[in-house]
Amino acid sequence: MVSRPPTPKLVTKATLVTVSHAIERAALAAAEDGPMLVVAFFQRLPYFERERQVYERIANSAAITVLGLVADNAPDLPAGTHLVPLGENEAYAREWTVLVLTPRFGAVLEAYDREQVDGSAQTLESGRLFDASWSFRRDDALHKALSVQAAVADRLSPGARDAFAGVLSYVRDVPAGAGETRADAVLDLLVERTERVGTELARARRLGATPDGSPVSDPDEVRRWSGTGGVTASGTLPVAMLAVRVPAPHQLPEQAGRRTGALRNEGLIAVLSGVLRDMDRITRLGENDFLLMLPALAFDDTVKLSHRLHADLANAAAHNPFLAGTAHMVVLSTRQRPFPEGRILEALAWAEREGVPVARLD
């Protein structure tokens, strides 16, 4: 049977979770078609921890189960699984792969992290974008298994390498079954409807929201959006941070008087929120400190944005006596979760003390 490579599609992580769970369910199904090879690349350890119990069960029935991820130290993995340690900067560190292969069955998901985010998503994690393809054709799974074997077999123990090669030998001796395209068609339909329902739910949440009119997110909303306390991991999606410290009310010109509070905040927030994209968020770090969170925005572009904000603040202050036209800003790009707010506040204090308009944390 000739295998045709599946065509990659741009999809969110939320969709890929559904596909990967379907393939894992196939691995757990009882069937007399062994031996079975299972490969799963998780990018980072926290994503595996969510599925640990599933892979404990898979390892009990598979001839070999291979797990790939980036980890600072050797993680505690379930018995019967074999670790492929991934380097921070290698291609597989950005890949999300789930593969199940037996002589009579194959399924594979292969997704490459774009390090971008869908602005309509409710959280950073669910909106992460991947170039992905999936297939329930055995020879597609075999092709991917051969690619993995060539790339990482030397990182496995001799026994694991032999078990991996043994499954491939069995698969080659048995022809693929007819009708596999039917399973692909079913999966494609389910994925399409999953994406459609997810989009409709996101739209309904936005339309049904009753915010207080301010674009500034409270700390609890930021924690939920950024994944703090949920399933997220450092080292994946980069998020640019642009922190802004404005003068306290008592530092503003005397003619502003006591009326500065609400009017100052209204003008300031209008300027800061005016540069936000759909996927961005803004929150307060303090009474006079604001943080713009800008997923996947390049560091240099964030620096340019800071200079734009300086100009916008000066222009707004020329027409609003309650608004200061000066500010101190800090720019950095981080893959850390949770966000390094302590470091940002320290840098803001330094920038104010030293009179630095824009401090760059490279």
Q: What is the DSSP string of 26-43?
A: HHHS--S----EEEEEEE
| Neighbour-count burial for 266-299, b at 16+ CB within 10 Å, e otherwise | ebbbebbbebeeebbbbbbbeebbbbbbbbbbee
**Averaged over 21-48, what is the pLDDT?**
93
Q: How far, in Å, CA of 329 to CA of 333, rounded?
A: 14
Quote the pLDDT of residue 1. Answer: 44
Quote the pLDDT of residue 320. Answer: 79
**Averaged over 229-244, what is the pLDDT?**
93
Quote the pLDDT of residue 208. Answer: 42
**Averaged over 11-17, what is the pLDDT?**
92
Confidence of residue 210 (pLDDT cuts 50, 70, 90): very low
Q: How far, in Å, CA of 197 to CA of 183, rounded?
A: 21
pTM for the full model? 0.86
For the CA atoms of 120, 188, 190, 34, the dihedral, rounded to the nearest 10 degrees, stands at -120
Domains and CATH numbers, the chain: 9-204 (no CATH), 216-361 (3.30.70.270)
Contact (Cβ atoms closer than 8 angstroms) between residue 53 and residue 26: no
pLDDT higher than threshold 70 for residue 199: no
Across-strand partners of 117?
A: 128
Which residues have C-beta within 8 Å of that of residue 101, sequence separation ≥ 6? 36, 37, 38, 108, 138, 141, 142, 145, 167, 168, 171
Quote the pLDDT of residue 328. Answer: 96
More confidently predicted of 209 and 334: 334
The rounded percent of the chain whose pLDDT value lies above 90 is: 67
Q: What is the mean pLDDT of the chain?
A: 87
Tens digit of each residue's pLDDT (9 = 90 or more) over 63-119: 999 999 998 888 999 999 999 999 999 999 999 999 999 999 999 999 999 999 998
Distances in Å between the alpha carbon of 253 and those of 30, 267, 356? Answer: 76, 16, 21
Q: Which amino acid is at 48?
A: F
pLDDT higher than threshold 70 for residue 213: no
Residue 81, H or E segment:
strand 81-85
